[in-house]
Chains A and B, each alone.
Chain A
């Protein structure tokens, strides 16, 4: 805060610069950078021709397709559900609101394997919800819908928690002005409120999408893991490892890593845009 405008000399008044920065860089290098570098080096070692052959093999393409489609379904659902939750939690007062708010952290806190186990049992033919859906001809478990369900569960807090603070900080003046001018509630939402939360909402959806692409623990339980049908990319990489096909695993992992880093950049841009929007 104050350091921004302070002269260069003043910034080193506090002790521990070398120690804290040194520790941080050392830890990041050993724990994050070197392992990621090992993956990139492995990818370089494979060579472009073989890399392309691995990544464009029918089974890999099918796995990427399943992953992308399921993540898109999950994100589309969370875009609506997450926005609804953020809106309800910020704008209305009702009994049990604090519990509902706390429940939005459950997917963060609950281990993904536990979520996967429970969702699978719950939506299978003899589970509470599956027993009711299966007779209507709706199968969730061992289909792409199950994968999307697991992804939606694990990534919904990202949308809620990104939109919620922005919605809380909105200046009520614009809405009041619109209301005074006779705008309907729907018009106020679509023309006044929504444009203001749009950057944060998009950022939240991007993070949720990225998280869905990388999700593994919850999905292996519910997907059934049939090659070409319900096999996700992360699982295919895992299977390649178990077959000691390290090149195959590394190539698929690199594609997922590339997606993750691009989405991280996009969400950072969106969040910077959202921050400018809020005038922070």
Chain B
């Protein structure tokens, strides 16, 4: 049967010597696009929100242009997901919220209550524009965000404030399968339109991707590799619970992929499963799915030739750029100047191995400026993040 989505999973290293104690393995989980099938017929919907919301984005000229282009009149845009049998015409206001949303918690909670009141599966995507310098979120915000995830809604965050913590916003968006779109006012309309077009072009619904590991294999961290590298940081809620990866919209030219790092226990020779991955989704009212697994062989003697999974290692090198930058941000937040200087130096050398000269120059200049002044701006870090993401895309 023709299927719109496939699944692959490979692990690195595929072969190691037994009896050397605990080890680190990396798994690359990738979706592959097959026969697409008809689009789901997504429509753009608009939710009216209270006009004096301080925490919600203020519409700028560029965003108003987008609103004109899409018919949206307010700052929260929904891509409504309808079953093909229920046709609805044109964008229209579907809800009005009167309670103020003073911050992201309010925004996420309010939208969750908004979505919860609708028909199941009708609204699936939220685009939230942040124009304030968000630098911290509380556990309550995460909880509110989780409410959106539970409702099956993804969140794209569009950030236009140069000093907002883009790393944090990116992680928030990643948790729902969404993306952080970093764009200047001049670029934002184009980025949003492209994103909306991608959302409208989806062919599957209710996609759920689960990763299970056998007992003893402990997942440590999760990165998204495609369409752009970012730290996700989702972990299973318990030892036996699967890791649920937020799928998000699937673009044909860059289907999503994730990198999972895990610790393995010290074991004797043999073949061992590391990751079992299952994908379930719906198309045309039919439940479809795909399964894959990756394993590792442990041998008693040191192997003469080292089998390597180049694709996994290449993905690891790409996400390392994002990891280094976030580590620099953490070190700076904890006022550890020595560590910031050391990490900037390492980032330079890492960028050198990727042969990305713009990122090398940017990081090198930042290091130089930090050594001379001891000062680092949030905008510098965001510029580095943008360069890092661009570099990783180029490397891929």
Q: Do A and B come from one complex?
A: no
Query: Which A residues are within 8 Å of any B CB, using their own CB?
Result: none
